[in-house]
Structure 1
Amino acid sequence: MSSNAALLFQGGIGVIGLVAMLLFGIPVLLVGPGLWPSILLGALGASLTYAALLLLTRVPGLFPENLERQMQGLYDFASSYSPVVLILLSLLAGVGEELLFRGAIQGWLMANTDPVTAVLAASVLFGLVHYVSFTYFLVATGLGLILGAAYVLSESLVLVMVWHALYDMIALYCLLRFPRWFGVRIVDPVTNRPHE
């Protein structure tokens, strides 16, 4: 996928979320504790969530499938884009996906059901949209649960947008900078052999 198409896709998700919120009159909890606390708590949450996930990947047999295969695919995808495009993709994913999944979907469900049902349903949908394997579905659903709970507790969509965007940036940086942490093999295009 070209960088323009990837950026347009991620931006389009946010537009869909905004349109849904406007069409259905979904109430948005924007900056519960305030703008700066939301930004700081989002940054802290992203760092802690990624660190926890990184530690969980070290537990033998915890994930039902070989996570290395998914990481190799993600590495191949991410390494085809420039750092600027990856930062923009992370920002657009954080803003756009949170507008759709926490703002529109979870917001609508919270207005029509209870917070637990809203968080669970929006998180499973979030996991399904990110489905590339059952393991990746579980990880994405888990992240959705964390972001959904953070949205309910903080009443700040800005907080979960920052959290999601920075989480993606940290994850992509670590994957591209330290691929061996994830079992990724980098193949030299000239010799067609793995780098040592």
Structure 2
Amino acid sequence: MFLIIGVKLDMLGAFYFGFEMWHLELITGLVVLISSSRSLLLKTWPDFAESSEAANRQILSSLQPLDYIVVAVLAGISEELLFRGAVLPLLGMNWQSIGVAAFIFGALHIGAGRKYSFAIWATFVGLAYGYATVLSSSLVVPMASHAVNNLIGGLLWKYTSKQK
């Protein structure tokens, strides 16, 4: 069963805003992979933990819990439209292109207290989202995964951070 949620993305005709039931499994797998990996890195890589804390403090500290949903969804949609909806199709639909788009995604996550460790992490995440986009031919998959992962990370930070 194929349900079209939106219209075909004209950028090289590569991806749809479509959803098939198996995409839900892919989204769930991405959320588990990325959120659990992030949790492990926060506990084992001090530089990554420091970078994440700095970014979260800067972006999230003044938000109310419901605001986290808006921020997570807007970041998920906008970043995925740019990197997986525009950059990836321009580069091509292969592993090299997924890697280049992921590297750019990672590099643009440096700054605002985030160090090279955060860029490495964002590159890994970009690889996962890029692969999922090509596999599913749908931008809904990385958008939903990105938004849910951001929401989980933000809420966990909000309720476990020592600097509330």
| TM-score bracket for the superposition, by shorter chain length | 0.7 to 0.9
1:49 matched to 2:37: no
Check whether the contact 2:106–2:119 (CA below 8 A) recurs between aligned residues: yes
- Out of 14, 29, 47, which is 2:15 matched to? 29
> What letter corresponds to residue 157 of structure 1 in structure 2?
L
Report the counterpart of residue 132 of structure 2 in structure 1: 150
Check whether the contact 1:31–1:38 (CA below 8 A) recurs between aligned residues: no
Q: Deviations over 1:168-191 (max 9, x none)?
A: 001101111122xxxxx427xxxx
Q: Deviations over 1:133-189 (max 9, x none)?
A: 11111011110011111111222211111011101001101111122xxxxx427xx
CA–CA distance in structure 2, aligned partners of residues 98 and 134 of structure 1: 21
Check whether the contact 1:42–1:161 (CA below 8 A) recurs between aligned residues: no
Task: Please report the RMSD computed on the Cα atoms of aligned residues, expressed in angstroms.
Answer: 2.2
> What letter corresponds to residue 29 of structure 1 in structure 2?
F
Unmatched tracts of structure 2, length 5 or more: 1-8
Higher normalized strand content (fraction of residues): 2
User: What is the number of residues matched between the two proteins?
Assistant: 152
CA–CA distance in structure 1, aligned partners of residues 76 and 20 of structure 2: 16
CA–CA distance in structure 2, aligned partners of residues 31 and 104 of structure 1: 13
Q: Look up the SS of the partner of 1:104 in the other structure.
A: helix
Q: Deviations over 1:88-121 (max 9, x none)?
A: 11101111111110010001111xxx51121011
CA–CA distance in structure 1, aligned partners of residues 62 and 34 of structure 2: 26
Larger radius of gyration: 1
CA–CA distance in structure 1, aligned partners of residues 94 and 48 of structure 2: 31
CA–CA distance in structure 1, aligned partners of residues 110 and 85 of structure 2: 21
Once the two structures are aligned, what percentage of the paired residues are identical? 27
TM-score by length of 2: 0.81
